[in-house]
Structure 1
Amino acid sequence: MTKAEADAVGQKPEITRAEDPAGAVRARIEAEDTRLTAAEKRVGEVILKDYPMAGMQSVTKLADLACVSTPTVIRMARKLGFEGFPEMQNALRDEVADRIKAPALKRDARGGDGHVLHRFADAVIGNLTRSLDRVDTATFDAVAALLADSNRPAYFLGGRISGATASYFHNHMQIIRTGMTLLDQAPNVWPHYLLDMGPASVLVLFDIRRYEKDLLRLAELAAERGATIVLFTDQWGSPVARVARHVFHLEVEAPSNWDSTVAIMAVVEALIAEVQAKRWDESRERLDELEAMFSTTRVFRSGG
């Protein structure tokens, strides 16, 4: 049905893929503003405020953020021309996919004036500022409480590149308290770890663009066993977010062929500091004992 035909019968025209380019969900929200109820407008405002990440959350979470009911979110999606909320999310995921570029395609990002060091610094400072503005402090506090609870065993894993950040996080947490495990990078041994996961477990995953399907499957299996999933991802959002209880969307763009993890590392280090503060008496004893071991074995020696 064309727009003219639709107008003639008072119906909304169907929007084909050719008419639905990247950014179309935003365009639909803005175009249909006058047709939306006050409650539906609040849903649109939440999505546009943190576009497109806000719309990638569960329908229940989005409804909570907009202070509306779940049916209101579904009705709003249908007014925008989608069959329902899942189809709107698929459209948002398509937009995200269009934005994701392989590192080899990012070479043109090196352009611009000034020395590369200063351009890179400007980019990562911007990433850090925008990321920290986006972080929900309630989410941060909840994750810190989970990791500080010695009754909750925690597991850490990242992808091909982000695995180094997972290892760094685990290394510090292992000093602070017991019950910390860094998963092997090989997927064929993950079932061994899953055997020990249950409702008390916390699985901390790192997955940035060029998302890894194996990590999603691990998260799904862990969630089925009742584990709480904590995800560190980029501004577009790993598919793991669908099963994660707590998600940190942090910006990674940089004037390089590779993404920057500075913003991710900042949140990780802040969590390490907060967990240690929560468990200072216990962690101080572990630190003292660890230093004594180093001194006894002379693994590290002071002096030149």
Structure 2
Amino acid sequence: MAEQTQTISDRIQQKLDELTRAERQLALSILENYPASGLGPLSSLAKDANVSVPTVARMVQKLGYKGYPDFQAELREELRAKAKDPISKHDTWAESAPSGHLLNRFTDAVIENIRLTLGQIDPEAFDAACAMVANQDSHLFIVGGRITHTLADYLFMHMQVIRPHLTHVDTGSNTWPHYLLNVQKGDVFVIFDIRRYENNTLKLAELAHARGARIVLFTDQWRSPVHHLAEICLSCRIIAPSAWDSSTTILLLVETMISSVQSLNWSGTKQRMEALEDMFDQTKLFRKFT
């Protein structure tokens, strides 16, 4: 069966403005511990949200489900999708792959990922995340995982040019707790974590949060457990016809963030760029043709 491109969380967020006060209270309760909150009996969900059983039934129907069992069935599918390993991902696509060259199929999937991601990203939240990253009064920590370290490397390299006071944290090393010794209240962590979410990344986020750090999270449509700690969560679609997830949409947001932070800090960034170019000239790192 093909993976769902829209999660129940997406549906809830899209419908929030149409819900009654009690239904909104229920929706926010579901999102607070999503997706586990919806896996128990209907009566337990109603009790946890302090609403009536009929309120749960009405909201589930507003989300497009015939009833609570259908709602739960899709939640379970989401949990299975979150836990998929590369072989399972490949088999899913191999079974349902449409005709046509892989270049076209992969491109179509990526374009759909971008369309769906941009459709649900809050521009104000994104701008706020960029402002947090640009704030030079706070130390910036950038954290990636086994696969996402390449995205963290990319962001870190650009931020080195744009601003001072930043650190790249390698959670693959057993020395990563050392970095937390210097964390001050108000420091900013940009964390990358997509499905097969990493225990080290979650533990680092918990310890950083406990020390008063603010977290910007880049994650997938199912959302890393770190989202419970994040001040801003940027969820991206990552499904592709491959044994591996696609990072294209995350990279799009990262490059947009780089552009925004560069503009916010342009005066200082320009000086740093000029100094860096002078060092490049002295070291003859790059060829010149003029």
TM-score by length of 2: 0.77
Alpha-carbon distance in structure 2 between the residues aligned to 1:91 and 1:202: 38
Deviation at 1:224, TM superposition (A): 0.3
Residue 98 of structure 1: aligned partner: 80
Find out whether 1:127 has 2:113 as its counterpart: yes
Match of 1:56 among 31, 43, 51: 31
1:190 to 2:176 alignment: yes
Describe the shift of the 1:93–1:113 C-alpha distance in structure 2 as closer, same or farther (beyond 3 A): closer
**Equivalent pair of 2:89/2:242 in contact (CA under 8 Å):** yes
CA RMSD across the alignment: 3.1
Partner Cα distance (1:72, 1:282) in 2:
54
* Number of aligned residues: 247
Aligned to 1:255: 241
| Runs of 4+ displaced beyond 6 Å | 90-93
Q: Does 1:141 align with 2:127?
A: yes
SS of 1:167's equivalent in the other structure is: helix
Shift of 1:302: 2.3
Offset at residue 91 of structure 1 (A):
10
Provide structure 2 residue ranges, at least 5 long, that are not aligned to the other structure: 1-6, 13-18, 35-45, 58-71
2:104 aligned residue = 118
1:200-239 equivalent positions in 2, closer than 5 A:
200-239=186-225
Instruction: Check 1:293–1:122 CA distance in 2 against 1; reply closer, same or farther (3 A cut).
Output: same
Distance 1:159 1:186, change over 3 A: closer
Give percent identity, aligned residues only. 39
**Residues 1:173 and 1:268: Cα distance change in structure 2 (over 3 Å):** same
In 2, distance between residues paired with 1:284 and 1:191? 34
CA distance 1:43–1:263, shift in 2 (3 Å): farther
**Cα distance, 1:185 vs. partner?**
3.5
Answer with 1 or 2: which has the greater Rg: 1
After TM superposition, the structure 1 = structure 2 runs for residues 1-304 of structure 1, keeping only pairs within 5 Å, are 38-43=20-25, 55-57=30-32, 74-76=49-51, 80=56, 95-100=77-82, 101-108=84-91, 109-110=93-94, 111-303=97-289
Per-residue CA deviations over 1:105-130 (Å, capped at 9, x if unaligned) read 12231421111001100000000011
- Deviation sequence 1:217-271 (CA, Å, 0-9, x none): 0000000000001110000010111111110111000011110011101111111
Tell me the secondary structure at the aligned position of residue 196 of structure 2.
coil
Q: Secondary structure at the match of 1:253?
A: coil
Cα distance in 1 for residues equivalent to 2:87 and 2:272 = 45
Q: Distance in 2 between matches of 1:55 and 1:92?
A: 14
CA contact (8 A) 2:145 2:170 kept: no
Partner SS state of residue 183, structure 1: strand
Structure 1 counterpart of 2:139, one-letter code: P
- 1:164 Cα shift? 0.4
Q: Could you say if the C-alpha distance between residues 269 and 220 of structure 1 is closer, same or farther in structure 2, counting changes exceeding 3 Å? A: same
- Which range is displaced more, 93-102 or 175-184? 93-102
TM-superposed CA distance for 1:291, in Å, is 0.6
In 2, are the aligned partners of 1:57 and 1:241 still within 8 Å (CA)?
A: no
SS of the aligned residue for 1:186 comes to coil
TM-score, structure 1 as length reference: 0.73
Partner of 2:281, secondary structure, is helix
CA deviations over 1:85-119 (Å, ceiling 9, x no partner):
xxxxx999755322221111122314211110011
State the distance in 2 between where 1:185 and 1:213 align. Answer: 10
Q: Which amino acid aligns with 1:282?
A: G
Give the Cα separation in 1 of the matches to 2:76 and 2:201: 20
Any idea what SS the aligned residue of 2:175 has? Answer: helix
Question: Which segments of 5 or more consecutive residues in structure 1 lack a partner in the other structure?
Answer: 1-24, 31-36, 48-53, 60-70, 82-89
- Higher RCO (CA < 8 A, seq sep 6+): 2
